[in-house]
Structure 1
Amino acid sequence: MGLSSLSILLLALVASPALGAIPEHLIQSLPGWKGALPSKQYSGYIKLDQTSGKNLHYWLVESENDPMNDPIVLWLNGGPGCSSLDGYLNEQGPLHFNRTSADNLTLPDLIYNPYTWAKIANVMFLESPAGVGFSYSDNPKDYIIDDNQTALDNYHFLVNFFNSYPEFKNHEFFVAGESYAGIYVPTLVNTIRLMNEKVPANQVINLKGFMVGNGCVGNLVGGCGHQTGIKIHIDFYHGHALFPDELYDEIMKTCGDFSKLDEACSDKINEMSMMIGKVNIYDIYSPCFSNLQSVSRASNPIKDHLVSYLEDPSRYYGPDGCIDDHVESKYLDNEAVRKAIHVKSKAEIGGWRICDQQKLHYMANTGSLLPIYPTLIKTYRTMIFNGDVDGCVPFIGNEQWTSGLGFGVKEGWRPWMVDDQVAGYVTKYDTNDFQFVTVKGSGHMVPQYRPKQALAMFQRFLSNQPL
């Protein structure tokens, strides 16, 4: 991905002077939480530049350990169009909801997450691109966006963030994310790599590594690929006993190598989807909850997901048929909450959605990241990880492409342990300790489904210790 000299000039013009932490972004208190926060937290907008109307919302959680020395980690959820506050509120953030305390009249209580990644790192959750969550633009045309522009916008955000928080500029910096952030993370990492070679020394970002969980690798390859993804999903569902051998054989006979998804092949895939029924695509062994704000109870998440492959791969979206964001939306649409975290009111920018597929017009235009991965792996510490019961981006595809890069194997497939129990399996390659990791029994959102194992994996990655 090339970067124009105009982009470099623009960054030089808009970079703000070192100011220290933005004091007006400090969160003093949060509705639903009593007492002091576990560590300092900042939330607010950073404007990308003086000519753009884009304002990206971030939520920074300082480390509970040693914030002035611990690494800083950027977390991105995927979608495209899904909010990284899902990561804060349901995955590795320090505060989660006590869902039993929520009713139609009161806000839910917040409870402490003992497996928050903020125990060992400064963690920043970024709602990107503009149009996602609380992030917005003054120009509606900015909601028409693609992978390349998203990477540039996220880079511009980081430059301005580190100029606003110079105390973090020299910290070790890592980027992490899941799902469609399998596109966001490497494209941002590659942008940082290219820009670090061109910008002045005081604008260099101290990037050390990146992690991608249950991630896409392009819309032509891997588990999110138009043709490759169909085959990977079918093999995963069949291997987990969700439909019988007889239908599997019929699909293979009808669809061949899946290079031509004709009507007969599509009919067989739809037959498979209906036979599987309403299974939680994000964790095939967990209950499926309906998002009453966006889908009906008749929704078939697996069928909805595969339709995105069959119809238009450039408009790929993850399914939301088993996501219940009622509590999150209620909390984040409360004006007292919005005031506490310094974001625009509902009247100004509308309601918060966990995944916005209406305002945002996103074009998934990354065919394959495989050509740039060898360079990224040689340059930065890299981990690709997967929950092994995720039916949205199955581990099969990520195991295939990571092994297919051609690196020598340093350590073959072996278990890794937490509390003397198998937490999953790891393959380590001979180039910069590149790793492919599975998390046993976890669905799509690993820090949500296996929080203890996710924290252990994260800690060992940051400290460059073996799993």
Structure 2
Amino acid sequence: MVALEILRGNEAGLQPRMSLQGYIIGNGITDQNIENNAQIPYAHRMALISNEYFEAAKISCNGEYDNPDPNNLQCLLALQPIHECINPLDDGQILEPKCAKPHLIGRNHTFWDDFSIDHLLLPFVKGGMWCRVSFVQDQNYATSYVWANDPTVQEALHIRKGMILGWTRCNHSLSYEINVQSVVQFHKLLSEKGYQALVYSGDHDMIVSYMSTLKWIRSLNMTVEDNWRPWVVNGQVAGFTEKYKNNDFYLTFVTVKGAGHTATEFKPKECFAMLDRWLSLYPL
């Protein structure tokens, strides 16, 4: 949406003109209907549900797994054991433990208010479950709260005093209306103008699965320029990639092996190599 707005501004002659050559989408929600309905096929492909469960839902639900017809009892019955299998999982990274998420994030209060710097220095309870983010343990993001709420950091970032009472990683107090349900058409418009795109997915992300991303990419009816193949970092397979072409528009699709939602926080080394190569116009 931002790339398209820049394009329109350039075409309208707005100043200053922005030198837009392409854009990058990582684990991006593009069409929620596609993404939500891809979760069950993805769960089947990742061996989270049985063939029997998937085939029963596939036959009775006609591909509408997210908002099934309430009068379709066969579909509802078929979905019940599937949800029992996938609900206990962390859909952001299916390999990690599912933990209670923060629920006190707001404009004037965060769950970080209840913590002190000592939590960064003291070891966590022995035998306790490791959690990337939870209400009682924010082990992966703790330092970002300390850093972003430091007055000297906020001064260096030119944050006006009083504007931010307490920085939070996810600010759920913002009020806005979702009025765009799909941006697939935006990609189509950009492709017709010849911009380059890098679209990547963590292959263990069930929120926006790589299957759903591939589905909307292939709906653009582009030609496969470079067939599906592994890409490598330090001699090891970092994921898989496929390149599409439409006239002068190139779209590079990439999976990041072992990464979740979002890929960069799970596999920073591999994602840095991916971004560096793409920005340098060097093949993955």
TM-score by length of 1: 0.48
Partner in structure 2 of residue 300 of structure 1: none
Instruction: Quote how far apart the aligned CAs of 1:328 are.
Output: 3.5
* Superposed CA offset, 1:141-192 (max 9, x none): xxxxxxxxxxxxxxxxxxxxxxxxxxxxxxxxxxxxxxxxxxxxxx111111
Task: State the distance in 2 between where 1:242 and 1:460 align.
Answer: 34
Instruction: Quote how far apart the aligned CAs of 1:232 are.
Output: 0.5
Task: State the distance in 1 between where 2:255 and 2:49 align.
Answer: 24
Instruction: Quote how far apart the aligned CAs of 1:292 are.
Output: 4.2
Partner in structure 2 of residue 252 of structure 1: 58
* Superposed CA offset, 1:120-144 (max 9, x none): xxxxxxxxxxxxxxxxxxxxxxxxx
- Match of residue 371, structure 1, among 185, 190, 211: 185
Q: Does 1:401 align with 2:232?
A: no
Residues 351-390 of structure 1 mapped to structure 2, 5 A cutoff: 351-357=166-172, 359-377=173-191, 378-390=193-205
C-alpha contact (below 8 Å) 2:238/2:270 kept by paired residues: yes
C-alpha contact (below 8 Å) 1:247/1:272 kept by paired residues: yes
C-alpha contact (below 8 Å) 1:383/1:435 kept by paired residues: yes
C-alpha contact (below 8 Å) 2:35/2:207 kept by paired residues: no
C-alpha contact (below 8 Å) 2:35/2:209 kept by paired residues: no
Instruction: Quote how far apart the aligned CAs of 1:196 are.
Output: 0.5
For the structure 1 residues 413 and 206, does the alpha-carbon distance in structure 2 shift closer, same or farther, using more than 3 Å as the test? same
C-alpha contact (below 8 Å) 1:210/1:381 kept by paired residues: yes
Amino acid at match of 2:29: C
Instruction: Quote how far apart the aligned CAs of 1:210 are.
Output: 0.6
SS at match of 1:252: helix
For the structure 1 residues 444 and 336, does the alpha-carbon distance in structure 2 shift closer, same or farther, using more than 3 Å as the test? same
- Match of residue 10, structure 2, among 173, 176, 196: 196
* Superposed CA offset, 1:231-257 (max 9, x none): 310011122122223332333344233
Instruction: Quote how far apart the aligned CAs of 1:338 are.
Output: 3.7
Q: Which has the higher contact order (CA 8 A, sep 6+)?
A: 2
Task: State the distance in 2 between where 1:337 and 1:189 align.
Answer: 29
Q: Does 1:205 align with 2:18?
A: yes
Instruction: Quote how far apart the aligned CAs of 1:334 are.
Output: 4.7
Task: State the distance in 1 between where 2:160 and 2:80 align.
Answer: 42
Task: State the distance in 2 between where 1:348 and 1:457 align.
Answer: 36
Task: State the distance in 1 between where 2:11 and 2:206 align.
Answer: 39
Amino acid at match of 1:368: S
Residues 56-455 of structure 1 mapped to structure 2, 5 A cutoff: 187-200=1-14, 202-218=15-31, 224-225=32-33, 228-258=34-64, 261-263=68-70, 264=73, 265=75, 268-269=78-79, 271-294=81-104, 324=138, 325-335=141-151, 337-344=153-160, 349-357=164-172, 359-377=173-191, 378-431=193-246, 432-455=249-272
For the structure 1 residues 348 and 386, does the alpha-carbon distance in structure 2 shift closer, same or farther, using more than 3 Å as the test? closer
Instruction: Quote how far apart the aligned CAs of 1:366 are.
Output: 1.6
Task: State the distance in 1 between where 2:231 and 2:210 align.
Answer: 16
Partner in structure 2 of residue 154 of structure 1: none
Kindly, what percent of the aligned residue pairs are identical? 28
C-alpha contact (below 8 Å) 1:291/1:326 kept by paired residues: no
Partner in structure 1 of residue 127 of structure 2: none
* Superposed CA offset, 1:37-64 (max 9, x none): xxxxxxxxxxxxxxxxxxxxxxxxxxxx
User: Structure 2: any 5+ residue segments left out of the alignment?
Assistant: 106-132
Instruction: Quote how far apart the aligned CAs of 1:370 are.
Output: 2.4
Amino acid at match of 1:192: I
Report the aligned-residue RMSD.
2.9
SS at match of 1:441: coil
For the structure 1 residues 204 and 270, does the alpha-carbon distance in structure 2 shift closer, same or farther, using more than 3 Å as the test? farther
Task: State the distance in 2 between where 1:204 and 1:290 align.
Answer: 46
For the structure 1 residues 421 and 267, does the alpha-carbon distance in structure 2 shift closer, same or farther, using more than 3 Å as the test? same
Instruction: Quote how far apart the aligned CAs of 1:208 are.
Output: 1.4
Partner in structure 2 of residue 92 of structure 1: none
Amino acid at match of 1:275: C
C-alpha contact (below 8 Å) 1:282/1:444 kept by paired residues: yes
Partner in structure 1 of residue 122 of structure 2: none
Task: State the distance in 1 between where 2:54 and 2:145 align.
Answer: 40
Task: State the distance in 2 between where 1:424 and 1:456 align.
Answer: 12
Instruction: Quote how far apart the aligned CAs of 1:458 are.
Output: 0.6
TM-score by length of 2: 0.75
Task: State the distance in 1 between where 2:51 and 2:61 align.
Answer: 15
Task: State the distance in 1 between where 2:35 and 2:272 align.
Answer: 29
Instruction: Quote how far apart the aligned CAs of 1:397 are.
Output: 0.9
For the structure 1 residues 413 and 262, does the alpha-carbon distance in structure 2 shift closer, same or farther, using more than 3 Å as the test? same
Amino acid at match of 1:261: P
SS at match of 2:241: strand
Instruction: Quote how far apart the aligned CAs of 1:376 are.
Output: 1.1
